[in-house]
Chains A and B, each alone.
Chain A
Amino acid sequence: MIEVRDLVKSYGGRRVLDGLTFTAEPGRVTAFLGPNGAGKSTTLRMILGLGIPDAGHALVNGVRYAELRDPLRTVGALLDASACHPARSPRAHLTWLARTQRIPAARVDEVLGLVGLAPAARRPVRGFSLGMRQRLGIAVALLGDPGTVILDEPMNGLDPEGIQWLRGLLRALADEGRTVLVSSHLMREMAVVADQVLVIGRGRVLADGGLTEFLETDLPPVRLVTPRLDELSRALRAEGARVTHDSDPHRATVTGLTSARIGDIAAQNAWSVHELTPVRPSLEEAYMRLTAEAVEYRSATAASTKKEAASHASLK
Chain B
Amino acid sequence: MRPSSDRQAPGGGPRDFAAAEWTKLRSLRSTWALLALGTVLTVLVSLLFCALIGPEFRRADSAQRRALDPVGLTFTGLQFGQVPLVILAVMAVGNEYGTGMIRTSLAAIPRRGALLTAKLAVLGATGAVWGLLTGAVALTAGSTVLGASVPLHTDAVRALAGAGAYTGLLAVLAAALTFMVRRSLTALGVLLPFLFVVSGALAATPQLRSLARLLPDRAGLRLTQVHQDAGDLSPAAGGGVLLLWAAVAATGSYVALRRQDC
Contact = CB atoms under 8 A, between A and B. Distances in A.
B3 A83 contact: no
B27 A100 contact: no
B150 interface: no
Interface stretch (A61-69, A189-197, A222-230): A61-69
B23 A95 contact: yes
A101 B9 contact: yes
Scoring A69, A80, A100, A144 by chain B CB atoms within 10 A of each residue's CB, the highest score goes to A100
A93 B101 CA distance: 10
Interface stretch (A30-38, A49-57, A286-294, A303-311): A49-57
A96 interface: yes
A162 interface: no
Contacts of A166: none
Contact of A50 (B12, B21, B24, B106): B106
Contacts of A52: 259, 261
A147 interface: yes
Given A71-B107, A77-B107, A85 B4 contact: no
A102 B23 contact: no
B103 A80 contact: yes
B101 A84 contact: yes
A148 B5 CA distance: 10
A176 B6 contact: no
B20 A69 contact: no
B6 A50 contact: no
Contacts of A68: 6, 110
A170 to B, nearest CB: 14
Contacts of A70: 6, 9-12
Contacts of A83: 99-101, 103-104
B59 interface: no
Interface in B1-38: 1-7, 9-12, 16-17, 19-21, 23-24, 27-30
B261 A102 contact: no
B230 interface: no
Given A80-B103, A82-B99, A82-B100, A100 B12 contact: yes
Contacts of B23: 92, 95-96, 99
Contacts of B16: 99-102
B261 A69 contact: no
B6 A73 contact: yes
A295 interface: no
A49 B109 CA distance: 11
B108 A100 contact: yes
A74 B6 contact: yes
Contacts of B100: 79-80, 82-83
Contacts of B261: 11, 45, 50-52
A100 B109 contact: yes
A147 B9 contact: no
A169 B2 CA distance: 15
A52 B6 CA distance: 22
B152 interface: no
A64 to B, nearest CB: 9
A288 B240 CA distance: 64
A29 B107 CA distance: 22
B110 A66 contact: yes
A89 B26 CA distance: 12
Nearest to B25: A96
A92 B29 CA distance: 12
B63 interface: no
A3 to B, nearest CB: 15
Nearest to A150: B107
Contact of A96 (B2, B5, B20): B20
Given A82-B100, A97-B104, A50 B11 contact: no
A146 B10 contact: no
Given A69-B11, A83-B104, A145 B4 contact: yes
Interface string B84-128: 000000000001000111011011111100000000000000000
* Those 9 A-B pairs whose CB atoms lie nearest each other, nearest first: A147-B3, A92-B27, A83-B100, A96-B23, A99-B20, A51-B261, A70-B9, A74-B6, A66-B110
Given A72-B107, A96-B21, A102-B16, 16 more contacts: A50-B103, A68-B110, A71-B108, A74-B6, A79-B104, A83-B99, A83-B100, A84-B104, A86-B99, A87-B28, A88-B28, A97-B104, A100-B16, A101-B11, A140-B104, A148-B3
